[in-house]
Amino acid sequence: MATANQAKVARDTEQAITVSTPSRREFLYYIWMASLVLLLGEAGAGILWFAYPRFKEGTFGGTFTLGPGEVPGAGEAPNSKPAGRFHISHLGDDSLIVLYGVCTHLGCLPSWVEANTRFECPCHGSKFELDGKYIEGPAPRSLDRFVTTVYFEDGTVETTNTEGDPIQLAGRSIARIDIDTGNRVRRTGAKAKL
Ligand code: FES
């Protein structure tokens, strides 16, 4: 005969293994929340994907690597690279500067005019020296400069400073130069037209 104790143990065991299942309303709520989290996650990832630009090497916005053969001699006409929108100028004091080739007035593209030994903007006539310095015209400031790193054959390395000053070559032979077209130094304040 099953005793009262055995019946109690059976009831307790049955209760112990009872698993509470969510109601239909709770189940739908969980599904809805999971969908919302997934949607927000995908939207956030999409925003980050577009917010952070990814520029390939050798395309505007990325880094251009050039060999020594692409650096003009001191005082020679600049070497212009339309793909990177920059001009490499080798100045008379044996320094190197890389100019952003877009006019600081309204964004036209000044070109080097050998006969006048200066950059001239075809739109409204602003003019700039070999080092990008403003000469005349409606442009509010000199040409901007790209941050450049010069690797020399003697193992030394020089990078454009925060002022965008030309890099002194001091007679050293160049192994290669890296031009970061995503990193521009603007001429502002007292140096705007220097
Ligand atoms: S855009 Fe160059 S002078 Fe106006």
**If you write DSSP's letter for every residue of the chain in order, what string do you get?**
---HHHHHHHHHHHHHT--PPPPHHHHHHHHHHHHHHHHHHHHHHHHHHHHS----TTSTTSEEEE-GGGSPPTTSPPEEETTTTEEEEE-TTSEEEEEE-S-TTTS---EEETTTTEEE-TTT--EE-TT--EEESS-SSPPPEEEEEEEETTS-EEE--TT-PPEE-TTPPEEEEEEEEEEEE---GGGTT-
- What confidence category does residue 1 fall into, taking pLDDT thresholds of 50, 70 and 90? very low
Question: pLDDT digits over 150-184, tens only?
Answer: 999 999 999 999 999 999 999 999 999 999 999 99
Question: pLDDT digits over 178-189, tens only?
Answer: 999 999 999 888
Q: Whose CA is nearest to atom 3 of ligand 1?
A: 124
Work out the average pLDDT over 18-25. 72
- The region, left, alpha or beta by phi > 0 then psi within -120 to 50, assigned to residue 189 is left
Q: Is residue 14's pLDDT more than 70? A: no
Higher pLDDT, 190 or 80: 80
- At a CB cut-off of 8 Å and minimum separation 6, what does 113 contact? 119, 120
φ, ψ dihedrals at 22, nearest 5°: -65, 150
Tell how far the Cα of 137 is from the centroid of ligand 1, in angstroms.
8
- Please report, for the chain, the start and end positions of each structural domain, with discontinuous segments joined by +: 4-51, 63-191
From 72-76, 137-141, 147-151, 159-163, the region with the lowest mean pLDDT? 72-76
Higher pLDDT, 62 or 40: 62
The reply to whether ligand 1 has any atom less than 6 angstroms from the CB of 137 is: yes
Q: Is residue 106's pLDDT more than 80? A: yes
Q: What value does the mean pLDDT of the chain take?
A: 89
The reply to whether ligand 1 has any atom less than 6 angstroms from the CB of 122 is: no
Residue 52 confidence (pLDDT): 62
Tell how far the Cα of 37 is from the centroid of ligand 1, in angstroms.
50
Superfamily per CATH, domain 63-191: Rieske [2Fe-2S] iron-sulphur domain (2.102.10.10)
Work out the average pLDDT over 94-119. 97
In sequence order, the β-bridge partners of residue 86 are 81, 100
- What confidence category does residue 16 fall into, taking pLDDT thresholds of 50, 70 and 90? low
Q: Is residue 113's pLDDT more than 90? A: yes
Residue 19 confidence (pLDDT): 60
Work out the average pLDDT over 60-66. 95
**Distance between first and last Cα of the chain:** 108
